[in-house]
Protein backbone atom coordinates (compact mmCIF):
# COMPACT_ATOMS: atom_id res chain seq x y z
CA UNK A 1 0.00 0.00 0.00
CA UNK A 2 1.35 3.41 -1.03
CA UNK A 3 0.33 6.71 0.54
CA UNK A 4 -0.44 9.04 -2.36
CA UNK A 5 -1.15 12.79 -2.59
CA UNK A 6 -3.20 14.00 -5.58
CA UNK A 7 -3.30 17.77 -6.07
CA UNK A 8 -6.35 18.81 -8.10
CA UNK A 9 -7.93 15.57 -6.86
CA UNK A 10 -11.52 16.88 -6.99
CA UNK A 11 -11.24 17.80 -10.66
CA UNK A 12 -12.21 15.78 -13.72
CA UNK A 13 -9.05 13.64 -14.08
CA UNK A 14 -8.03 13.83 -10.41
CA UNK A 15 -11.30 12.37 -9.15
CA UNK A 16 -10.98 9.31 -11.42
CA UNK A 17 -7.39 8.90 -10.28
CA UNK A 18 -8.45 9.02 -6.58
CA UNK A 19 -10.97 6.26 -7.22
CA UNK A 20 -8.58 4.08 -9.19
CA UNK A 21 -5.73 4.34 -6.68
CA UNK A 22 -8.08 3.57 -3.76
CA UNK A 23 -9.42 0.54 -5.64
CA UNK A 24 -5.85 -0.64 -6.12
CA UNK A 25 -5.41 -0.66 -2.31
CA UNK A 26 -3.59 2.64 -1.73
CA UNK A 27 -4.19 5.39 0.79
CA UNK A 28 -5.16 8.61 -1.01
CA UNK A 29 -5.09 12.27 0.04
CA UNK A 30 -7.05 14.50 -2.32
CA UNK A 31 -5.97 18.16 -2.17
CA UNK A 32 -8.03 20.84 -3.96
CA UNK A 33 -9.16 24.47 -3.69
CA UNK A 34 -12.36 23.73 -5.69
CA UNK A 35 -11.69 26.42 -8.30
CA UNK A 36 -12.95 24.16 -11.09
CA UNK A 37 -13.29 20.88 -9.21
CA UNK A 38 -16.24 19.82 -7.11
CA UNK A 39 -16.79 17.72 -4.00
CA UNK A 40 -19.49 16.05 -6.09
CA UNK A 41 -16.74 14.31 -8.08
CA UNK A 42 -15.41 12.54 -4.97
CA UNK A 43 -18.47 12.38 -2.72
CA UNK A 44 -18.83 8.64 -3.39
CA UNK A 45 -15.33 8.10 -1.95
CA UNK A 46 -15.81 9.98 1.33
CA UNK A 47 -16.74 6.89 3.35
CA UNK A 48 -13.64 5.02 2.23
CA UNK A 49 -11.39 4.48 5.30
CA UNK A 50 -8.21 5.25 3.32
CA UNK A 51 -9.46 8.45 1.65
CA UNK A 52 -8.85 11.97 2.96
CA UNK A 53 -9.79 15.30 1.46
CA UNK A 54 -7.97 18.59 2.13
CA UNK A 55 -9.02 22.11 1.09
CA UNK A 56 -5.76 23.81 0.16
CA UNK A 57 -4.27 26.01 -2.55
CA UNK A 58 -1.03 24.71 -4.11
CA UNK A 59 0.37 28.22 -4.39
CA UNK A 60 0.94 27.88 -0.61
CA UNK A 61 3.35 25.28 0.83
CA UNK A 62 1.81 22.07 2.17
CA UNK A 63 3.46 19.34 4.17
CA UNK A 64 2.50 15.66 4.45
CA UNK A 65 4.35 12.33 4.48
CA UNK A 66 3.56 10.37 1.30
CA UNK A 67 5.30 7.97 -1.12
CA UNK A 68 3.98 9.50 -4.36
CA UNK A 69 2.59 12.86 -5.52
CA UNK A 70 0.47 13.38 -8.64
CA UNK A 71 0.51 17.13 -9.36
CA UNK A 72 -2.71 17.88 -11.27
CA UNK A 73 -3.83 21.16 -9.71
CA UNK A 74 -4.42 23.72 -12.48
CA UNK A 75 -7.52 24.85 -14.37
CA UNK A 76 -7.39 23.13 -17.77
CA UNK A 77 -10.10 24.65 -19.94
CA UNK A 78 -9.44 27.92 -21.82
CA UNK A 79 -12.31 29.86 -20.18
CA UNK A 80 -11.22 28.81 -16.71
CA UNK A 81 -7.48 29.34 -17.14
CA UNK A 82 -8.08 32.71 -18.83
CA UNK A 83 -10.47 33.86 -16.04
CA UNK A 84 -7.51 34.86 -13.82
CA UNK A 85 -4.36 34.41 -15.91
CA UNK A 86 -1.97 35.58 -13.16
CA UNK A 87 -3.41 32.97 -10.80
CA UNK A 88 -3.04 30.33 -13.53
CA UNK A 89 0.68 31.07 -13.87
CA UNK A 90 1.07 31.06 -10.06
CA UNK A 91 -0.74 27.73 -9.79
CA UNK A 92 1.55 26.09 -12.34
CA UNK A 93 4.81 27.66 -11.22
CA UNK A 94 4.43 28.15 -7.44
CA UNK A 95 2.43 24.92 -7.28
CA UNK A 96 5.35 23.08 -8.92
CA UNK A 97 7.90 24.73 -6.59
CA UNK A 98 5.87 23.83 -3.49
CA UNK A 99 5.21 20.24 -4.53
CA UNK A 100 8.79 19.67 -5.73
CA UNK A 101 10.07 21.08 -2.42
CA UNK A 102 7.84 18.61 -0.61
CA UNK A 103 8.98 15.71 -2.83
CA UNK A 104 12.61 16.66 -2.20
CA UNK A 105 12.14 16.73 1.57
CA UNK A 106 10.27 13.44 1.87
CA UNK A 107 11.97 11.62 -1.10
CA UNK A 108 8.62 10.96 -2.79
CA UNK A 109 8.15 10.30 -6.50
CA UNK A 110 6.33 13.19 -8.14
CA UNK A 111 4.44 13.18 -11.46
CA UNK A 112 3.59 16.38 -13.31
CA UNK A 113 0.45 16.58 -15.43
CA UNK A 114 1.89 18.58 -18.31
CA UNK A 115 0.08 19.14 -21.57
CA UNK A 116 0.16 18.97 -25.36
CA UNK A 117 -0.19 22.77 -25.11
CA UNK A 118 3.58 22.92 -24.59
CA UNK A 119 3.72 22.30 -28.38
CA UNK A 120 1.49 25.39 -28.99
CA UNK A 121 0.27 25.60 -32.61
CA UNK A 122 2.61 22.84 -33.84
CA UNK A 123 4.50 22.94 -37.15
CA UNK A 124 5.39 19.24 -36.83
CA UNK A 125 2.71 16.61 -37.11
CA UNK A 126 2.23 14.31 -35.21
CA UNK A 127 4.10 15.77 -32.24
CA UNK A 128 7.04 13.79 -30.75
CA UNK A 129 8.47 14.71 -27.33
CA UNK A 130 11.63 16.02 -29.04
CA UNK A 131 9.66 18.88 -30.67
CA UNK A 132 10.23 22.19 -28.81
CA UNK A 133 6.90 23.70 -29.78
CA UNK A 134 5.53 26.87 -31.32
CA UNK A 135 4.05 28.90 -28.48
CA UNK A 136 3.06 32.57 -28.34
CA UNK A 137 4.49 33.85 -25.01
CA UNK A 138 2.14 36.87 -24.87
CA UNK A 139 -1.16 35.52 -26.19
CA UNK A 140 -4.45 34.54 -24.54
CA UNK A 141 -3.29 30.95 -24.00
CA UNK A 142 0.21 31.79 -22.74
CA UNK A 143 -0.66 31.86 -19.02
CA UNK A 144 -1.44 28.17 -19.34
CA UNK A 145 1.11 27.14 -21.98
CA UNK A 146 4.07 29.01 -20.50
CA UNK A 147 3.09 28.12 -16.92
CA UNK A 148 3.16 24.45 -17.87
CA UNK A 149 6.42 24.86 -19.80
CA UNK A 150 8.04 26.54 -16.79
CA UNK A 151 6.75 23.74 -14.54
CA UNK A 152 8.48 21.18 -16.81
CA UNK A 153 11.71 23.21 -16.51
CA UNK A 154 11.39 23.25 -12.71
CA UNK A 155 10.80 19.49 -12.62
CA UNK A 156 13.95 18.84 -14.67
CA UNK A 157 15.98 21.35 -12.60
CA UNK A 158 14.93 19.79 -9.27
CA UNK A 159 15.81 16.37 -10.70
CA UNK A 160 19.24 17.43 -11.96
CA UNK A 161 20.16 19.71 -9.05
CA UNK A 162 18.53 17.93 -6.10
CA UNK A 163 17.99 14.39 -7.33
CA UNK A 164 14.21 14.65 -6.99
CA UNK A 165 12.45 11.58 -8.42
CA UNK A 166 10.35 13.09 -11.20
CA UNK A 167 7.97 11.92 -13.95
CA UNK A 168 6.47 14.21 -16.60
CA UNK A 169 3.55 13.30 -18.84
CA UNK A 170 2.17 15.49 -21.63
CA UNK A 171 -1.56 14.87 -21.72
CA UNK A 172 -3.47 15.35 -24.99
CA UNK A 173 -7.19 16.33 -25.02
CA UNK A 174 -8.92 14.02 -22.57
CA UNK A 175 -12.66 13.66 -21.98
CA UNK A 176 -15.11 11.60 -19.93
CA UNK A 177 -17.54 11.70 -16.98
CA UNK A 178 -16.82 14.33 -14.26
CA UNK A 179 -15.85 16.98 -16.81
CA UNK A 180 -17.16 20.37 -15.74
CA UNK A 181 -20.42 20.82 -17.73
CA UNK A 182 -19.74 24.52 -18.30
CA UNK A 183 -15.99 24.56 -18.79
CA UNK A 184 -16.25 25.50 -22.46
CA UNK A 185 -14.17 22.57 -23.70
CA UNK A 186 -15.29 21.15 -26.98
CA UNK A 187 -16.55 17.73 -25.86
CA UNK A 188 -18.54 19.04 -22.87
CA UNK A 189 -19.90 22.01 -24.86
CA UNK A 190 -21.07 19.89 -27.79
CA UNK A 191 -22.69 17.24 -25.58
CA UNK A 192 -24.51 19.81 -23.42
CA UNK A 193 -25.65 21.69 -26.55
CA UNK A 194 -26.97 18.57 -28.28
CA UNK A 195 -28.76 17.33 -25.14
CA UNK A 196 -30.53 20.70 -24.93
CA UNK A 197 -31.14 20.85 -28.71
CA UNK A 198 -29.22 24.16 -28.83
CA UNK A 199 -26.97 25.25 -31.70
CA UNK A 200 -23.55 23.61 -31.72
CA UNK A 201 -20.92 26.36 -31.53
CA UNK A 202 -18.10 25.64 -33.98
CA UNK A 203 -15.19 28.08 -33.72
CA UNK A 204 -13.67 28.84 -37.12
CA UNK A 205 -14.49 26.53 -40.04
CA UNK A 206 -14.32 23.39 -37.87
CA UNK A 207 -11.43 21.94 -39.90
CA UNK A 208 -8.94 22.23 -37.01
CA UNK A 209 -8.14 18.82 -35.53
CA UNK A 210 -7.76 17.32 -32.09
CA UNK A 211 -7.03 13.77 -30.85
CA UNK A 212 -9.43 12.77 -28.10
CA UNK A 213 -8.47 10.36 -25.33
CA UNK A 214 -10.95 8.71 -22.97
CA UNK A 215 -10.03 9.25 -19.31
CA UNK A 216 -9.53 5.53 -18.48
CA UNK A 217 -6.78 5.26 -21.11
CA UNK A 218 -5.04 8.29 -19.61
CA UNK A 219 -5.19 6.79 -16.09
CA UNK A 220 -3.58 3.58 -17.33
CA UNK A 221 -0.73 5.54 -18.97
CA UNK A 222 -0.36 7.89 -16.02
CA UNK A 223 -0.10 5.16 -13.37
CA UNK A 224 2.27 3.11 -15.53
CA UNK A 225 4.46 6.21 -15.86
CA UNK A 226 4.47 6.83 -12.09
CA UNK A 227 5.64 3.26 -11.52
CA UNK A 228 8.07 3.07 -14.46
CA UNK A 229 11.83 2.53 -14.07
CA UNK A 230 13.49 5.20 -11.89
CA UNK A 231 15.73 6.66 -14.65
CA UNK A 232 12.83 7.31 -17.06
CA UNK A 233 11.70 10.85 -16.23
CA UNK A 234 9.87 11.69 -19.48
CA UNK A 235 8.39 13.92 -20.74
CA UNK A 236 6.23 11.36 -22.45
CA UNK A 237 3.11 11.95 -24.54
CA UNK A 238 -0.08 10.29 -23.27
CA UNK A 239 -2.86 10.68 -25.81
CA UNK A 240 -4.96 8.90 -28.40
CA UNK A 241 -3.52 9.26 -31.92
CA UNK A 242 -7.02 9.02 -33.50
CA UNK A 243 -7.39 12.48 -35.09
CA UNK A 244 -10.73 14.17 -35.88
CA UNK A 245 -11.78 17.58 -37.17
CA UNK A 246 -14.01 19.57 -34.82
CA UNK A 247 -16.78 19.35 -37.42
CA UNK A 248 -16.51 15.54 -37.47
CA UNK A 249 -16.75 15.53 -33.67
CA UNK A 250 -19.93 17.65 -33.81
CA UNK A 251 -21.51 15.31 -36.37
CA UNK A 252 -20.64 12.22 -34.30
CA UNK A 253 -22.21 13.73 -31.17
CA UNK A 254 -25.38 14.76 -33.05
CA UNK A 255 -25.61 11.23 -34.37
CA UNK A 256 -25.13 9.59 -30.93
CA UNK A 257 -27.62 11.86 -29.14
CA UNK A 258 -30.20 11.95 -31.97
CA UNK A 259 -30.31 15.72 -31.38
CA UNK A 260 -32.00 18.37 -33.52
CA UNK A 261 -29.08 20.77 -32.98
CA UNK A 262 -27.71 22.71 -35.97
CA UNK A 263 -24.11 23.84 -36.52
CA UNK A 264 -23.38 27.52 -35.82
CA UNK A 265 -20.02 28.92 -36.99
CA UNK A 266 -18.36 31.50 -34.67
CA UNK A 267 -14.98 33.31 -34.82
CA UNK A 268 -11.89 31.25 -34.00
CA UNK A 269 -10.21 32.31 -30.70
CA UNK A 270 -6.66 33.74 -30.83
CA UNK A 271 -3.81 31.19 -31.21
CA UNK A 272 -6.19 28.22 -31.47
CA UNK A 273 -3.94 25.32 -32.61
CA UNK A 274 -4.84 24.11 -36.11
CA UNK A 275 -3.85 20.49 -35.54
CA UNK A 276 -2.82 18.18 -32.74
CA UNK A 277 -1.96 14.50 -32.65
CA UNK A 278 0.41 12.66 -30.29
CA UNK A 279 3.31 10.52 -31.42
CA UNK A 280 3.09 7.76 -28.77
CA UNK A 281 6.13 5.71 -29.83
CA UNK A 282 7.98 6.56 -26.60
CA UNK A 283 5.02 5.72 -24.34
CA UNK A 284 4.64 2.33 -26.04
CA UNK A 285 8.34 1.58 -25.62
CA UNK A 286 8.72 2.69 -22.00
CA UNK A 287 5.30 1.92 -20.56
CA UNK A 288 4.97 -1.75 -21.34
CA UNK A 289 3.25 -1.34 -24.73
CA UNK A 290 0.72 1.15 -23.40
CA UNK A 291 -1.72 2.42 -25.99
CA UNK A 292 -5.29 3.75 -25.82
CA UNK A 293 -7.99 1.08 -26.04
CA UNK A 294 -11.23 3.08 -26.03
CA UNK A 295 -12.53 4.31 -29.38
CA UNK A 296 -14.11 7.75 -29.65
CA UNK A 297 -17.63 6.39 -30.21
CA UNK A 298 -17.52 4.22 -27.07
CA UNK A 299 -16.05 6.97 -24.88
CA UNK A 300 -18.54 9.54 -26.13
CA UNK A 301 -21.47 7.24 -25.28
CA UNK A 302 -20.30 6.97 -21.64
CA UNK A 303 -19.76 10.73 -21.44
CA UNK A 304 -23.17 11.54 -22.97
CA UNK A 305 -24.79 9.23 -20.44
CA UNK A 306 -23.06 11.13 -17.61
CA UNK A 307 -24.13 14.60 -18.80
CA UNK A 308 -27.65 13.36 -19.48
CA UNK A 309 -27.86 12.26 -15.83
CA UNK A 310 -26.55 15.62 -14.59
CA UNK A 311 -29.24 17.42 -16.59
CA UNK A 312 -32.06 15.08 -15.55
CA UNK A 313 -31.10 15.43 -11.87
CA UNK A 314 -30.67 19.21 -12.09
CA UNK A 315 -27.03 19.04 -10.98
CA UNK A 316 -25.36 21.28 -13.57
CA UNK A 317 -25.36 24.26 -11.16
CA UNK A 318 -23.36 22.33 -8.54
CA UNK A 319 -20.19 22.79 -10.62
CA UNK A 320 -19.33 26.41 -9.88
CA UNK A 321 -16.32 28.43 -10.86
CA UNK A 322 -15.30 30.05 -7.57
* Binding residues vs ligand NAD (CB under 6 A): 7-8, 10-14, 32-37, 57-59, 72-76, 91, 113, 115, 171, 173-174, 180
The nearer residue to ligand NAD, 116 or 194, going by C-beta atoms, is 116
Q: State the first-to-last Cα distance of the chain, in angstroms, to the nearest integer.
A: 35
Kindly identify the residues of this chain, within the stretch 107-166, that bind ligand UDP according to CB under 6 A: none
Classify residue 150 as exposed, middle or buried by CB count within 10 Å of its CB (0-12, 13-18, 19+).
middle
Catalytic residue among 144, 175, 214, 319: 144
- Ranges of beta strands (E only) in 143-294 are 165-171, 174-175, 200-203, 209-211, 213-214, 236-238, 243-245, 263-266
Interstrand relation of 165-171 and 109-115 (parallel, antiparallel or unpaired) = parallel
Q: Which member of 52, 67, 198, 272 binds ligand UDP (CB under 6 A)?
A: 272
Q: How far is the CB of 207 from ligand UDP (least distance, A)?
A: 10
> From edge to edge, which strands make up the β-sheet containing 165-171?
51-55, 27-32, 3-7, 68-71, 109-115, 165-171, 236-238
Residue 224 partner contact from ligand NAD, ligand UDP, none using kind-dependent CB cut-offs of 5 to 8 Å: none
User: In angstroms, how far is CA 88 from the centroid of its own chain?
Assistant: 14
By the rule CB under 6 A, 185 interacts with ligand UDP:
yes
Residue 8 partner contact from ligand NAD, ligand UDP, none using kind-dependent CB cut-offs of 5 to 8 Å: ligand NAD
Spatial contact of 176 and 299, defined as CB atoms under 8 Å apart: yes
Spatial contact of 90 and 193, defined as CB atoms under 8 Å apart: no
Residue 36 partner contact from ligand NAD, ligand UDP, none using kind-dependent CB cut-offs of 5 to 8 Å: ligand NAD
The nearer residue to ligand UDP, 62 or 203, going by C-beta atoms, is 203
By the rule CB under 6 A, 186 interacts with ligand UDP:
yes
The nearer residue to ligand UDP, 77 or 303, going by C-beta atoms, is 77
By the rule CB under 6 A, 277 interacts with ligand UDP:
no
Q: How far is the CB of 285 from ligand UDP (least distance, A)?
A: 26
Q: Within a 13 Å sphere around the CA of 80, how many CA atoms are in the beta-carbon half?
A: 22
Active-site residue, 119 included:
no
Residue 34 partner contact from ligand NAD, ligand UDP, none using kind-dependent CB cut-offs of 5 to 8 Å: ligand NAD
Classify residue 266 as exposed, middle or buried by CB count within 10 Å of its CB (0-12, 13-18, 19+).
exposed
Catalytic residues: 144
Sites of contact with ligand UDP (CB under 6 A) = 77-78, 173, 184-186, 189, 201-203, 208, 210, 246, 269, 272
Amino acid sequence: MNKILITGGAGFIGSHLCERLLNEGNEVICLDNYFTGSKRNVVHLLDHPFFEIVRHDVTMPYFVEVDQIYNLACPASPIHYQYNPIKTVKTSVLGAVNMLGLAKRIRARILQASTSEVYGDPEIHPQPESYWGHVNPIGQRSCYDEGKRCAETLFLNYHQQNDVRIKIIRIFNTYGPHMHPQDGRVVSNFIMQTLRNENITIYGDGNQTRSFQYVDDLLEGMTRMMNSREEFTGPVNIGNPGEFTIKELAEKIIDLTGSKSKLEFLPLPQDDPTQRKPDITLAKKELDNWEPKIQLQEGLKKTIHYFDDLLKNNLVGSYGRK
